[in-house]
């Protein structure tokens, strides 16, 4: 499959405009759906804590600088979020084995349990929302969203 990076044809511009609109709506509706969902499972973690715990669960312990870089956030923002998460017992700080002066952050069992509860609730929610979609359509959506996220991540790294 060839990739047309476009020369700015009217069709290309219209398609890119549709993509921009749909992504904007996806972000707005996703957040509105999360806030409006009646189950407490969705509210046991705020969005920032959920994203941090998901990343730490998959990537392993990290220092604040690495975490901030990965999440494309300012270090002071991550430090505040991590401090709040530590107060709530969601993460633990331990000495950095590579640099004894620093610390690394890792999820606690309580943090992982709360993250798993939110993830399960979100998975059920999307199962309900996409109940009328075929398995192939769900797979295609997952693949395309993954490709979009990879492209966004690559763009972030190249800047």
- Position 72 scores a pLDDT of 85
pLDDT at 58 over 70: yes
Q: What is the pTM of this model?
A: 0.79
Average confidence (pLDDT) over 108-128: 92
Average confidence (pLDDT) over 33-53: 77
In the predicted model, what is the mean pLDDT of the chain? 87
Q: Among residues of the chain, what percentage have pLDDT more than 70?
A: 89
pLDDT at 59 over 70: yes
Top-confidence residue, 153 or 104? 104
pLDDT at 99 over 70: yes
- Position 41 scores a pLDDT of 65
- Position 78 scores a pLDDT of 92
pLDDT digits (tens, 9 = 90+) for 63-84: 999 999 888 888 899 999 999 9
- Position 129 scores a pLDDT of 92
DSSP state letters, the chain? ---------HHHHHHHHHHHHHHHHHHHHHHHHHHH---GGGGSS-HHHHHHHHHHHHH--B-HHHHHHHHT--HHHHHHHHHHHHHTTSEEEEEETTEEEEEEEEE-HHHHHHHHHHHHHHHHHHHHHTTTS-HHHHHHHHHHHHHHHHHHHHHHHH-
Pick the range with the lowest mean pLDDT from 43-52, 55-64, 85-94: 43-52
């Amino acid at each position: 499959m060839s990739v047309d990076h476009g020369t700015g044809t009217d069709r290309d511009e219209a398609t890119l405009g549709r993509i921009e609109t749909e992504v904007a709506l996806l972000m707005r509706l996703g957040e509105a759906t999360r806030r409006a969902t009646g189950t407490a499972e969705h509210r046991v973690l705020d969005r920032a804590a959920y994203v941090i715990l998901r990343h730490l669960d998959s990537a392993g312990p990290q220092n604040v600088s690495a975490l901030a870089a990965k999440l494309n956030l300012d270090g002071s923002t991550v430090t505040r979020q991590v401090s709040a998460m530590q107060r709530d017992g969601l993460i633990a700080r331990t000495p950095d084995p590579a640099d004894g002066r620093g610390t690394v952050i890792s999820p606690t069992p309580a943090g992982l349990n709360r993250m798993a509860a939110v993830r399960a609730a979100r998975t059920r929610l999307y199962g309900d929302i996409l109940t009328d979609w075929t398995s192939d359509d769900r797979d295609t959506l997952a693949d395309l969203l993954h490709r979009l996220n990879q492209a966004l991540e690559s763009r972030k790294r190249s800047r």
